[in-house]
Structure formats: C-alpha cells, structure tokens
Structure 1
Amino acid sequence: MKLVCVDCSAERSWREFSMACSCGGRLEVVQDLSRVDGERLKTLFHERLAERMSVYASGVWRYKELIFPELPEEYIVTKFEGNTGLYTSEPIRRKLGIRELYFKAQSENPSGSFKDNGMTVAVSHGRSLGYNRFACASTGNTSSSLAMYAAMGECTSQVYVPNRSISMNKVLQTLAYGAQVIRFDGTYDDGIRFLEQHGAELGLYVCNSVNPFRIEGQKSIIYETAQNLNWELPDWILIPGGALSNVSALGKGLRDLKNLGMIDKVPRIALIQAEGASPFHRMMAAGKEQLTPETHPATKASALNIGNPPSWQIARRVLQLCQGVTCSVSDEEILASKRMIDQSGIGCEPASAATLAGLSKLLNDQTIGKEESALCILTGNLLKDTEILAETTDEMLHSGLAHVTDEVVSS
C-alpha cells in the first residue's frame, strides 16, 4: 500500500501524511490487489455481518482488506458507521416510470451524513501517525463528522466554517461534539487554501476530501451497496457533486470490485450539481480540459455550495472510465425532489435530493432509459438543514392548520 501522485506519479509511504504531492498534485492510495481472492472476500464479508461489538461490525471496517489492510486495529476509531439502509419507493418509481429505483440512505450514519464513511479512516490513520489535533474546512457535514470522531478518539478538532451559505444545524452539532469552530469571511475554498498553507506548521492532521484516506473509507458505500444487492449493481449510480470526493471514491470502489471479479459490470455514473455551484458540470459540458472555479457559488443546497472542487481531476477520470455524465439542476428542482423523498418516508437534506432531480432530468432527455435501473445516493439527514426544511414545509403547515381551524369553527 502506498500513496501515488495522480499528476506526476511520484510515490511515498502511507506513513507520510501530506495533503498534496510536492508538485501540487493530489495523492491517491494504491494497493496491490493482485493476490486478493474476490470470492473469498465475499464469504468473509458475509460472515462479518454477524459481528456486533468488534471493529468489523462497522459498515466500513467490514471491508478492511480493501480499504486499509495495514492499519493495526488498536488505532481504529469507529462508531459502527455504514450499515445504512437501501430503500425502494414505489410511488417515486411509478412517477418517474423507471424500471427499478433504489435509494442508499447514507444519511443514517452516526453523525447524519456519508462523511462518516471516510472520516473513520482518516482519523484512524492520523492516530496511527501520532496526531492528536485534527482539522478541516467545511460547509457543515465534514465538520460535524470530524468533531465526532476526534472526540471518540480522545483528540481535539478545529473546524473552519464560512460565515455564509452554511447550515447552523451542522455548526451547532459540531460545537456539541466539542470542536473549536473558527468562523471566517470567505468561501469553503478559502478555508481549504488556509489549511493547505498552514496545516503542517500548526501540527494539524487535515481531514478534508483532499485527504486520500477519506476516499478509501468512502469506497465502502459501493461495497456495502453491492453486498446488499448480492453483487449485482444497477445500471446507473447518481451522486451529488460538491467537492467531488464521493464520485472519486465510488469510482475507485467500482474499479476494485470489477478488477477482483466481484461484480460483472461497472454501472454508469451520473454526477449531479446545483446550477448555482456547477463548475465541474460546465467544464464537462463544454468539453474543456481545465476547470474554471466559480468565485461566488450560490445554492440552497449548502453541502453543494463549492465553487472550486478539489477532486475534479480524479472525478473526470472516473467519469471517463464509467462512461459517466454530468447534469445540473435548479434549486427549485432540488427542493421539489426533496419533498418527494421526504414524503416517501426516507427523507434527506437538500444536497441529497439533487440525485433524484438529476434522474428526472436525465430520464426526460433519454440519457437514462426507462427500462434501466438506477441508484440515488442520499448523502445527508433530513434534519441537517431545518431552515430549508421549514421553507419546504411551511406552505403545507399553514394550509393544514387553516383546514383544521375551519373544521373546529364549523363544528
């Protein structure tokens, strides 16, 4: 197991922590899987479903051989993350007219978002290197996940949070776990730049999506989904795109499973961004080779409000390998889709609903066929952003109260 630069191919040990290569390129964990028996792993992973209180009861560490085989167990910090629901909704499926539709509710993770899948691995790696101070820049979900795992590992955490376009629920959750929250004027991208420049000198282990061990943990989302479906994945996987770590991670996981013969085919990926924060989609749609950052991203889906996604180069490579597509959807389309998911009994935060909005759009333009099957990744919990929740339910609340009042008065 080693770290390799995606730009210059320079190699280094996994025991050397760095946010980037000396050339400025992103680092990626590379494992030698040539001697790994995929069928044996299927049996092992099935057996571990019976685990209750060991690290293998985690829906991430169940797949340790494919995520971080070298890490000694005593450094692992886990809250039995993963193990999230895979749901169907017949009303939504019928409305869209697609043959088969699944929702993977990463919102059911301990801190309420998919970030836990990656954060358990990043914090565990940092502890193995002797770090006890962890940090991140965040619009919300990353900060609450980091704060939770740092506290579980008896470590401290600093989180850098923009003053605007964030969810206060996520900030309050972060504070509740005991993190030091540092508010700043600027965007998520400014926070990332600060940590890139000063994280090492401050003795901080940085846990943003540029951390390659976050990506390794997030691969478990696709492993768990494949296991849930008896190793037969849908034709399409739809993923919301902010920093683009999830598309990078799931693409890497799909590649592992295919190379090991654990799945027969690689699904196509659709990466969905909000129109007000869609630099990656605009680059791909225009056929450009370089991403042009958006200096003032603006979307109500706060988890997607990122104008300069750090993992765009890896994400582009994943889409090329998976015959992937991109799509952008309006805030109105996102919130309409959120209402559908909420009223199905599953629920999600706005960023998650971008996947369903994107699926509807891609079905309408026939990029996705109605005879195909699809999986929507839901990344954050319904209660992560109650300001938006109040906005989307306010009309229903008032109309419902008025109806009840009229009935009481008439009686």
Structure 2
Amino acid sequence: MTYAEDRSGQRYDLDQLRWRGEDGSPLMISPLPGITPGEIDTSERSLWRYRAAFPIDMAPVSLGEGCTPMLPRRWNNHEVLFKLEWFNPSGSFKDRGVSVMVSSLARLGVEALLEDSSGNGGSSVSAYCAAAGMQAKILAPASTSQAKILQSRAYGAEVELVPGTRQATSDEAERQSEHLFYASHNWHPFFLQGVKTVAYEMWEDLGFSAPDNVVLVAGAGSQVLGCDLAFSELLQAGQIDRRPKLLVAQPENCAPIHQAFHAGTEELGDAEWSPTIAEGTAIASPVRLPEVLRAIRRSEGDVVAIPEGEIYAATRKLAAMGLYAEPTSASAAAAIERFAAKGLISPGQTTVVVLTGSGLKSADKMADVFAGA
C-alpha cells in the first residue's frame, strides 16, 4: 500500500487533504518500485509519459511540461550536458512538480489554494491553477523580480507581496494556511513526484543509463530530492547499477545546506545570510534539510558555495554561449570548475548540469548582471 509518512513514522492515506504531518514535519511518499522502459507511455510528449512511476492514477493537469532538451557543450575543459529546464511552460523546472501536485489536488476537489514563492514557484502554481480552473493566492517577497510577479498576475492569481526575507514570506504563508489550503511546493509530497521526472528523462535520453554526475542548484532542495527518488526507484527496478553523484551549488550569501553538509550535521547552523543575485535559492531554513543532506551523502555527492562574483560571471558566460539562464540556475554552471578541482568530475564521465530557469524570468536581476558588461 502506498501512503505518505511524516518524520515520526505516522502514516497518512493519500486521499487525505494535508500538507504536513501531525508532528509538523513534511511528508514523503512511501518508496515506489520504479519503472522499466516498457512502462513509458511513448505516445505522451510530456512528463506524463512516466505516469506509471507516480503513486496514484490521476487525470493530468498538463501544459506540456517535461521532455526538455539536454545540450552537449564544453565548459572550460569539461564536456557536459546542459539540461534546459526553461523549456517548461512557465519557464522553469517548477512546472514538473506543480503539474503533478495540482493534478493530485484537483483529484481531491480543491478549488482554491495558497502558495509562497520567491517567484518561479508562484508563477508555475498560478499557471496550473488557471489550467485547472482553481483560484490561487501567491505570497512572494517584496524583492521578487517584477517579471515573475507580472506572470503570476497575468494567469489570474492574487499576489500579496511580503516585506522582508524569503523566510518571512514562508512564515506568513503558514499563518494564512489556517483559512486557505496551503499547497506549498516546498512542503507538498506530490511536488517531488513531479520533479523526479527530470531524472527519468536523463535515464531515458542517455539510452536507459544513469549519468555519472548531476550538478544542481538548491534552495529548498527539491531537485536534489527528486533526483534521489528517481534514481533510488531505478536502482530498485534493476534499471541502473549505481547512483549518480549529486553535486549541489548554493550561493555563498545563503548556503545553509552547504554549512550543514560540511559540518557533518543535519541541523541548521547559526549564520546571518545576505541577499543574493540567485534569488531562487535564498532559503535560509529549508524544510526538508535532513532529507536533502541524506540524499547528497547517499550519492557520495558534495556541496559548494558560490561567491556572487562567480555567479555573475557564469551568467555572462552562459549568455555568450547562447544560453540565457537566470542567475539562480547559472550557479550550477559556476560550480562545474569547483567540483572538477575537487576530483568529483573527471574526464570521460557523463555530467548533466541542470539549468533551472530562463533569464527572461528575472529581467531586473539580468540587468544588474550585464550592467557595464
């Protein structure tokens, strides 16, 4: 039987409408068996081709998300594959998780929901709520890129800007969740079920084999957890024989996962973080921190913290290659050289670098990056 489980071990039926456990912790879906190539619905040109890997059957709320390209390119002296997630409908990887999350909520009759976001999550939830005929209220930091706020409002969502940090926005969302269902992409377990399809795509596009390394950016860490879920399932199904190393980048100005990883703990450290150009990863208190750290360690991966100057430089370098990535996702490219210097990326290995969102989503941040360039 498939169920959701909190950290205390209490189990919940998947037909229950809840976003966290009775103990206040985030929920995870019980382990799933994975799929074989024959279970992929090749007639479906979206992530729903992997619906056999989802915990329940549901009617898709889909805008054609998934099936994004992997582009072979040379980054300094390293051959890598850039996974271009901005080809998703609203312009970021968040559409993967939101499509599955909103589909699961539509199945349960939800008509209105609340989301908090630094931008991409909010615009994605707004898009899929519009597709599902749901009402969406989005809470976002007042500093969020205007293009992302405009996008959410264009889809018909109500947007409330919250003064202060990204964490202040999350705290306000939890307060408002008392009277509106909170469909946080950072909390809801079905979001991770959608995000994991990025790893299923890597597997399929690499001839049903796993890459050696996957380079990711992390704020809350949903990409890390999604990849861990998919590669664990594929191992269970006997479809791969090893886990790829999950190599994670965070901005130096806000790097709680990096701090805890290198401290050898699963607890948040005591640190004062600063604003960063990589706004999508500016999350000081990731709600799934222990799970993210275990996933990285299980893969024998690593975490690096990228200074602001290197994020700026990587954003410019990607653009010079024709890849207009927002600074948040450019952090992954900036990390390639650092991981190679540590011996974690070697010549001849297959390394996928996930670029999460388009520079078009962050016009003001891109203007800062290219000012005087």
- Length-normalised TM-score, structure 2: 0.95
Q: Aligned partners of 1:279 and 1:379: how far apart in 2? A: 20
Provide the residue aligned with 1:401 in structure 2: none
Tell me the SS of whatever aligns to 1:356. helix
What's the counterpart of residue 65 of structure 2? 81
1:238 is the counterpart of 2:212 = no
CA separation in 2, counterparts of 1:293 and 1:84? 38
Q: Which residue of 2 aligns with 1:405?
A: none
* Between structures 1 and 2, the one with greater helix share: 1
- Quote the Cα distance in structure 2 between the aligned partners of 1:130 and 1:82: 25
Aligned residues between the structures: 372
Please give the alpha-carbon distance, in whole angstroms, between the structure 1 residues aligned to 2:8 and 2:83. 35
Kindly name which structure, 1 or 2, has the bigger radius of gyration based on alpha carbons.
Answer: 1
- Residue identity opposite 1:103 in structure 2: F
Partner of 2:38: 43
> For the residues of structure 1 that align with 2:152 and 2:15, how far apart are their CA atoms?
28
Structure 1 unaligned blocks of 5 or more: 397-411
Aligned to 2:355: 378
Q: CA deviation at 1:208?
A: 2.3
Verify the 8 A CA contact 2:209 2:239 in the aligned structure 1: no
Counterpart of 1:117 (choices 96, 121, 126) is 96
1:47-66 correspondence runs (5 A): 48-49=41-42, 51=43, 56-58=44-46, 60-66=47-53
Could you tell me how far apart the structure 2 residues matched to 1:218 and 1:18 are?
19
1:137-188 CA-to-partner distances (Å, cap 9, x unmatched) read: 1110000000000011111100001112x21111111111111001111222
Correspondence 1:3 to 2:4: yes
Cross-structure match for 2:258: 281
Structure 1 residues 382 and 375: CA distance shift in structure 2, 3 A? same
**Aligned pairs for 1:134-149 within 5 A:** 134-149=113-128
The yes-or-no answer on 1:393 pairing with 2:370 is: yes
Secondary structure, aligned partner of 2:253: helix
CA RMSD, Structure 1 to Structure 2 (Å): 1.7
Secondary structure of 1:307 counterpart: coil
| 1:294 to 1:109, Cα distance in 2 relative to 1, 3 A | farther
C-alpha contact 2:96 2:197 (8 A) present in aligned 1: yes
Whether 1:67 and 2:57 are equivalent positions in the alignment is no
C-alpha displacement of 1:296: 4.4
Alignment match, 2:27? 27
Paired amino acid for 1:71:
D
**Structure 1 residues 203 and 387: CA distance shift in structure 2, 3 A:** closer
Matches within 5 A, 1:2-401: 2-5=3-6, 7-33=7-33, 38=35, 41-45=36-40, 48-49=41-42, 51=43, 56-58=44-46, 60-68=47-55, 70-73=56-59, 76-90=60-74, 92=75, 95=76, 97-98=77-78, 100-164=79-143, 166-199=144-177, 201-292=178-269, 294=271, 296-396=273-373
Are residues 251 and 32 of structure 1, via their aligned partners in 2, closer, same or farther at CA, if it must alter by over 3 Å? closer
AA of the residue aligned to 1:24:
G
CA distance in 1, matches of 2:71, 2:355: 11
Q: How far off is 1:297 after superposition? A: 3.8
Length-normalised TM-score, structure 1: 0.86
Higher deviation after alignment, 358-367 or 261-270: 358-367
Residues 297 and 307, structure 1, Cα contact 8 Å, conserved in 2: no
Change (3 A) 1:32 1:240: closer
Superposed displacement of residue 210, structure 1: 1.0
**Contact kept? 2:214, 2:246, Cα under 8 Å:** yes
Aligned counterpart, 1:407: none
**What is the alpha-carbon distance in structure 2 between the residues aligned to residue 161 and residue 32 of structure 1?**
34
Counterparts of 1:24 and 1:344, CA distance in 2: 45
State the distance in 2 between where 1:130 and 1:293 align. 42
Letter in structure 1 aligned against 2:167: D
CA contact (8 A) 1:297 1:306 kept: no
Shift of 1:263: 1.6
Q: What are the superposed Cα offsets for residues 291-346 of structure 1, whole Å, 9 maximum, x if unpaired?
A: 13655441111111111111211101101211111110011111211122222123
Q: What is the deviation of 1:388? A: 2.5
| Structure 2 gap segments, 5+ residues each | none
Percent identity, aligned pairs only?
26
Q: Distance in 2 between matches of 1:66 and 1:297?
A: 39
User: What CA deviation, in whole Å up to 9, does each residue of 1:355-388 have, x standing for no partner?
Assistant: 1111111212334333433111110012111122
